[in-house]
Amino acid sequence: MFYVQKLHQACINHLHLSSFMLKLIIFGNCDKHFYKHFYPS
**2 falls within a domain:** no
Domain count, the chain: 1
**26 falls within a domain:** yes
Q: How far is CA 18 from the centre of its chain?
A: 5
Distance CA 34, CA 6 (A): 42
**25 falls within a domain:** yes
pLDDT value of position 38: 72
**41 falls within a domain:** no
Supply the DSSP symbol for 40. -
* Type and span of the H or E element at 4: helix 2-38
**31 falls within a domain:** yes
**12 falls within a domain:** yes
Q: Tens digits of per-residue pLDDT, 1-41?
A: 677 888 888 878 888 888 888 888 877 777 777 777 777 76
pTM above 0.75, yes or no: no
**21 falls within a domain:** yes
Domain limits for position 27: 8-35
